[in-house]
Amino acid sequence: MHPDSARAERIADLRRQIAGLEGRPDPILAGRIIGEPAGTPTPPRNGTREDTRAAPRRLAFGIAEIDAAFSGEGGLAAGALHHLRTAETRGAGAGAGFLAALLARHAGAGSDAVLWVAAREARAEAGGLYAPGLKAFGLDPARLLLVAARGEADALWAIEEGLACRGLAGVVGEFQGLPKHIDLTATRRLALRAREGGRPVFLLTHGGPPMVTAAATRWLVAPGPSPPDPELAEAGFDAPGDPAWSLALEKNRDGRTGRWLIAWSRHDHAFRLAEPPARPVAAAPADRQARPPAPGDGLAHPSLGRAS
């Protein structure tokens, strides 16, 4: 056996043993899931990379008003952690759509893949990604690596491992509510690895309050009123056009916060500021709950739903 091959096997065995002691999944199996051959050593995490491809330093929106909220060249820092949240689970589609559009601006035309890790709780509440919809945003589903994690801990582990892989344009972690494994310590590790690798990592949480994290930015994403479709309007039809979002930049270590209403051009694959609707839109139903009830809350006698 070649000395390099023997060394690789010894390293792989040690990784398995350490993972077993720490109660983590098999790292060799996970390497196959996220697209690296078994036994492939991870790249150095001291700020250097073996590949020489230039990664973008900023993820610009292409809207001067938003990009001006950040210092330097404007736009989100590429090598950083960013948190996107929706206040209600029913807004999960808006959050995922906005993130898909943002990734499409910077990963859609390249050859690098995007790793999207979804915890089981998020998939159960918000559902999965829809490939034709991603393609409509300009994000090629063929370059999207999906990991369906069994729980929050496995999802966090897969995100960290993904940040150590070369050839990724970014990493996404999707969670439901207020995930207990995503705390300040865990997000500091993610932020550090994102900075070392020069690739962004996005936390997407549905139906939860603001969290204390090490993210450089935190965004509240909600669906916005779509502008009328100009082509259908010419034909006499009043129908919604491009998707729109209401964005609130709640936290920004790089500048100021703000609120914007933006839309996404499906033809140009670009963001633009959207005008408020010229006439009133339908209000959200008052009898719909923002979050699912806690166990026992829907019973006539809640005590019957609890263990004595």
Amino acid type, 275: E
* Ranges in the chain, pLDDT < 70: 1-10, 13-56, 107-111, 230-235, 237-239, 277-308
CATH node for 58-273: 3.40.50.300
Domain spans of the chain, in order of start: 1-40, 58-273
Q: Which pLDDT does position 38 carry in this prediction?
A: 41
SS3 labels along the chain: CCHHHHHHHHHHHHHHHHHHHHCCCCHHHHHHHCCCCCCCCCCCCCCCCCCCCCCCCEECCCCHHHHCCECCCCCEECCCEEEEEECCHHHHHHHHHHHHHHHHHHHCCCCCEEEEEECHHHHHHHCCCCHHHHHHCCCCHHHEEEEECCCHHHHHHHHHHHHCCCCEEEEEEEEECCCCCCCHHHHHHHHHHHHHHCCCEEEEEECCCCCCCCCCEEEEEEECCCCECHHHHHCCCCCECCCEEEEEEEEECCECCEEEEEEEECCCCEEEECCCCCCCCCCCCCCCCCCCCCCCCCCCCHHHHCCC
Give how far the C-alpha of residue 67 lies from the chain's centroid of Cα atoms, to the nearest Å: 20
Residue 84 has a pLDDT of 97
- The predicted pLDDT at position 167 comes to 83
Q: pLDDT tens for residues 141-177?
A: 998 999 999 999 999 999 999 998 888 989 999 999 9
In this prediction, residue 298 carries a pLDDT of: 42
CB-count burial class (<10 Å; 0-12, 13-18, 19+) for 58 = middle
Q: For residue 31, what pLDDT is reported?
A: 44
pLDDT given for residue 176 in this prediction: 96
Question: In whole angstroms, what is the distance from residue 76 CA to residue 9 CA?
Answer: 40
**pLDDT given at position 85:** 97
pTM above 0.75, yes or no: no
Tally of CB atoms within 10 A around 255: 15
- Residue 267 is predicted with a pLDDT of 83
Task: Compute the mean pLDDT over every residue in the chain, rounded to the nearest whole number.
Answer: 79
Query: Using one digit for the tens of pLDDT, what is the confidence trace for 212-240?
Result: 999 999 999 999 988 877 666 666 766 67
